[in-house]
Chains A and B, each alone.
Chain A
Amino acid sequence: DTAVSQTPKYLVTQMGNDKSIKCEQNLGHDTMYWYKQDSKKFLKIMFSYNNKELIINETVPNRFSPKSPDKAHLNLHINSLELGDSAVYFCASSQDPGRSYEQYFGPGTRLTVT
């Protein structure tokens, strides 16, 4: 019954590794997002996909690559992990942004890079 789910919930890895975070929503929403929340709790949008198409791509390193196999899934792949990538990553979804619906957030993935 979980509306927006993410896996894994915790991820501890070493610098230089490549990792992926998966996100799925069962709300039938058209748009999905990835956010990064740093240690100061600042929340910043990274990517937005609408019906599998990239809509927003903020200035994040190209080591971060989102992939949307279908509109219910938006995965985040990170290459060559760095210490500064440590944060909580939230996936979210909403209906057509043109209708201005609120976003539903996943539980978050706490990434720790050592």
Chain B
Amino acid sequence: ELKVEQNPLFLSMQEGKNYTIYCNYSTTSDRLYWYRQDPGKSLESLFVLLSNGAVKQEGRLMASLDTKARLSTLHITAAVHDLSATYFCAVDIINMNRDDKIIFGKGTRLHILP
């Protein structure tokens, strides 16, 4: 059974600091997604990582994927208050029957202090 584990689940950090959120998964996959959710809001797609070694950056956020280690990271550079949100990783398995199975991590609640 595919398990997706994020850590930490809660992170409080000062503005201007750097930090990394980790997403480990238990089964072979080369498709991984990062989403952001603001309180009371829907989920917004941040990154789609489709191959080993994929790295994508958007503003102060950078995501990478290591399929051999079954690990993705979301790195935050010089955090600002606007990045406060819950971040989810999701892992995608597609088998020959085309039943696309997507499992979400429990989310990392990020709180950035001014």
Contacts and interface: CB of A to CB of B under 8 A. Distances in A.
18 contacts: A41-B86, A41-B106, A41-B109, A42-B106, A45-B104, A50-B100, A56-B99, A56-B101, A92-B43, A97-B92, A97-B94, A100-B94, A101-B48, A103-B43, A103-B102, A105-B35, A105-B43, A108-B41
A55 B98 contact: yes
A31 interface: yes
A105 B89 CA distance: 15
Most A CB contacts (10 A, CB to CB) among B42, B88, B101 go to B42
B88 A43 contact: yes
Given A44-B104, A102-B33, A102-B48, A97 B98 contact: yes
Nearest to B47: A102
Given A100-B50, A102-B33, A48 B104 contact: no
B45 interface: yes
Nearest to A58: B101
A90 interface: yes
Given A41-B107, A102-B33, A102-B45, A50 B98 contact: yes
Contacts of B41: 107-108
Nearest to A43: B104
Contact of B48 (A33, A55, A100): A100
Nearest to B92: A100
Contacts of A31: 100
B77 to A, nearest CB: 22
Interface in B72-86: 86
B31 interface: yes
Given A45-B104, A105-B44, A108-B42, 20 more contacts: A33-B102, A41-B37, A41-B106, A41-B109, A43-B43, A45-B101, A45-B103, A50-B100, A55-B100, A56-B101, A90-B42, A97-B94, A97-B98, A97-B100, A98-B94, A102-B48, A103-B33, A103-B102, A104-B45, A107-B42
